Amino acid sequence: MIAFLKANCLALYVLAGLSLFVDFPWGSGPWLQRITVALWVIHLLEIPIFLRAGPGDLRLLLRSLMPALLFGALYWLPLRRAARMHDSGGNAA
């Protein structure tokens, strides 16, 4: 399901980029651009949450920042769940 949602995010970004150069029917180009900007703003607001849930190593963090900007919670939420499972598994052993 997450892969499907990520593919839809990428499709939205591609269509919004194409709408800058090609006229889309029904005047949908400006709407695609607005939706894309709104999605990026939401993902920017999610960055502080990602920083708490993301990897501790600075190189991994910088490498993971772009997917977090592109996909938002679709990227960092599975990371947070995996970290919680790892932490609870480490405490139980």
Over residues 9-15, the mean pLDDT reads: 91
Please give the average per-residue pLDDT across 2-9, as a whole number. Answer: 87
Q: 90 falls in which pLDDT band (50, 70, 90)? A: low
Q: In the predicted model, is pLDDT for residue 69 greater than 60?
A: yes
Angle at 69 between CA 65 and CA 74, to 5 degrees: 100
| Per-residue pLDDT, 22 | 92
Instruction: Calculate mean pLDDT across residues 54-67.
Output: 68
Share of the chain above pLDDT 70, in %: 81
Does the pLDDT of residue 38 top 80, yes or no?
yes
pLDDT at 31 over 90: yes
Contact 35, 8 (CB under 8 A): no
